[in-house]
Copies of this chain bind each other. A is one copy, B any other.
Amino acid sequence: MILHGYWRSGTSYRTRIALNLKGVAYEQSAYDLRAGAQNGADYRALNPQMLVPTLEVNGTLLTQSPAILEWLEERYPEPALLPQDMSERATVRAMAALIGCDVHPLGNLRVLGQLRTQFGADSAAVKQWTARWIGDGFAALETLIGRHGGRFAFGDMPTLVECYLVPQLYSAERFSIDVSPYPRLLAVANAARALPEVEAAHPDRQPDADPQ
């Protein structure tokens, strides 16, 4: 199994967390997004959308991290990242999708690039933009964690929510966004980050890590 990704990509990070929590071994193949490596012919052959990650499994190419995570849950049911109860599963998936659809994509590299080229956005404007979506999403998630959370965002075991939340918090911290209004969210994210499987998925721990 080969994870084609990038150390700092939130969706690659999310996939590494799930793989590690499932205890699935994988190699990594890195594409430097800052250099546009994902737009080259090599990666395009793997994924016509030219976005990371792609998970290669015996020659089969799985793309889009939400689909990859569902595949991992079906292929490696234990430890489960979704509850057994049908409406609890829907709640976990909703909390994950809140980040996966309504926060993360708005702060993607290509989106921030478009803000810069189309609207001349400077760093302050990019931060304001990012803070809006992280703020909206984290505020709603704080309420949902209050309703459903325990040691983790949903109950007392890590779920798909942690796979999405930990990378999003990493991104918020990189943008120096104030996350103090979300104490429950921080508490569950910190509990997740303390797990060795999650710690090992951190961008700085990856082979292609290149901190400035």
**Residues of chain A whose beta carbon lies under 8 Å from any beta carbon of chain B:** 48-51, 57, 60, 62-68, 70-71, 74-75, 86-87, 89-94, 96-98, 100-102, 104-106, 110-111, 114-115, 118-119, 121, 125, 128-129, 132, 136-137, 139-140, 143-144
Contacts and interface: CB of A to CB of B under 8 A. Distances in A.
A100 to B, nearest CB: 6
A144 B98 CA distance: 26
Interface hub of A68, A94, A105, A114 (most chain B Cβ within 10 A) = A94
Contacts of A93: 64, 66-67, 70-71
> How many copies, total?
2
A62 B93 CA distance: 10
23 contacts: A48-B139, A48-B144, A49-B140, A50-B140, A60-B87, A62-B87, A62-B91, A64-B97, A64-B98, A65-B97, A66-B97, A67-B92, A67-B93, A70-B89, A70-B90, A70-B93, A71-B86, A71-B87, A71-B93, A74-B86, A101-B105, A105-B105, A106-B111
